[in-house]
A and B are shown apart, each in its own frame.
Chain A
Amino acid sequence: MNRMFAIVEREMRKFFRSPTLMIMSLMMPILQLLIMGNAFGGKIVGAHVAVVDYDHGPEAVKIREGFDAIAVNIKTFTTVEYTDENKAREDVRTGKIDGAVIIPAQYSRRVYAQDAPRIGFVVDNSDLFTSGSLESEMQALVTALTTPVIQPRVATAIALEIVELYPYVNYMKFLLPACVALAMYISVMIGGGMLYIDDKARGVHEGYLVTPITRLELVMGLNMAGAIKAVLSGICLTVIGSLMAGLGVIFHPEADLELLCLILGTSIAFNGMMFLMMVRVDDPLVPRAMFGVLNLLLFYPSGAMYPIAAFPPWLRAIAIVDPFTYCVHGFKSILLKDGGFVAIRYDLLFLFVFGISTLLVATPLFKRTL
């Protein structure tokens, strides 16, 4: 056992002597959380919408008042006066403005006559997010205009009452579980895979192999060190990321225990997977080449960015065997939902079984000789 801990000691001393390594394994996920969380999580503000009013009647004025209310409150868009419908369409097409509302002649009369009144809305649907936001605001405005001022005593329409279980989850919060998983993956890849192969190439392992250390002690020592590095990385990212995203779950001791179990399970699973892939590799370029490919192959099918239910069957098959999937699901269950051990039991089971199985396969593959 002492020999195994000697390997762990060496790896940890080396890790703490390389602050660049530690910073790099934490910086990228934090930056991702910061940049992607803010870039994708925001709402459309300050879009420009043209108003072409051919009516100028009292109902058209109501619409324009609605636009003014949006411009000063939710600020999704401000309006620009146009007199020519064709000019407005052309400006939407060239990107000068984001949309154009056409209020046709006789609009107010048709409203009073209840004669199928219509408003035209021209949008640039090549930008789905902006056009979707404008359509949504416009639809809400039209719904408000058509709602009777005096509500009928007996409601005849079917109403949908939506109950949201959790407080509003912004994109940064949504992204946090994925970033914790990514930080641990990077830590295992750099602190485990790359350093392992670099040491092997530099002959450091040759030094180990002439000592009486057993194969199991060496494998366990290297993996324990790798797992400790990933655990440290996971804890740091969970705490820093939760504070950045404004999640208070980390202040609950029970949730902390659940998170720790998840971090431990993920570390073992990622480390086992990495060791199995690198056990017979000698070329230091291989882990570097694999870094990006594995990131793409494992991170995106995990449901970290998009729900697995929307994947085609072949991608779902990858998600099922991908440890990232269980890691991300587990962290979402605790960080966003505070679901307790019940919510993460299968994730923990998969992660631990996966990690131990890969290590069991990798150990006999590890060569005790050169």
Chain B
Amino acid sequence: MISEPIEVILAVVLVTIAIATAISFTKVVTKQEIGSERILARSIASLIGDIYSRDFVMNGNLTLREFKNKVGEICTLVWNRTGIWFNVSMYLVYLNGTEIKFYINSTNAARPVGDVVIVTFPVMPGCNNSEIHWYVISYRDPYYKRTIDANHWEGESARFYIVAYSKDGLPVQGGNAQVTLYADATLITTEGAQLINGICKITIDVGIQEGSPAGKYHAFVDYTGPNGENFPTRELWIDLDNGDPVGRAENQMIVNETTLPAYHFYIGDTVYGRSCNRMNLTSIRENITFIGLPETLDDIIYAQGPYNATVENIGDSSTRAHIPIFIFPYTIRIEVIAIAPRG
């Protein structure tokens, strides 16, 4: 029972000391917590960068949607374990320095109020694995043929693209490719070419052949790496349909803004089509369909590496052609926002 003024003063002083103590220690604890959150956010940014570069870009184990889901799972997992809410975004960095931000995913819970820590982490997928990957695609499938007379037929020129790349999606410099073409079992010819910047095109003029028209082209393709590496021969069967073997020629092309045929693009570049207005892009990780041309490569889905572009004029399947393109490496910045609810 407080009965004297002096006792009131004493009580006030003691309470003030207690409050001051509590306040001063709370400040230290908060500072420590922010340091801890910064390390955790940094580790998550790095972890997501690794998942992006290895699983998404280099191995193609994940589609973009699966990658985003994986990021959401990790954010929620860490939230359940630490009570810290995370939000992940990615920035595409163009050659000219422009950046575009894309939201990836966040913790599956309402954004709390609290201290915010923002960590950004640059990512550029790359590896020292010099293993060469290569493939061949036929420009047309099917090619056209026509009967000239009882003993002659004419076939469309066969065109093949040979693409060689390393695990990180970069083009292999050099190496030689060779295509041996048969019409059914009849040898047409063998042609070779050197790969430049990961791609080469080999054209085989079939022209007029004797006998009854073949049913298919049969191609054997070999690639020798820049250091003499040998690989198993690839084999392709391509259908021959009745049609004009000359008229289609090589009209469908992917070109750049100067209208020249192009096979290499950076993120932020625009892909144009010649005699085609739509394409589907296939990579090791996903199929991106119904892309109208021209198309600017300004989406996070366009990761670095080789793509097979199937182009055509809408409504005319005879214009369909397959052309490889490389999207060159670019920088990504991963931003992780960590919010620790306090109050």
Report whether chain A binds chain B.
no
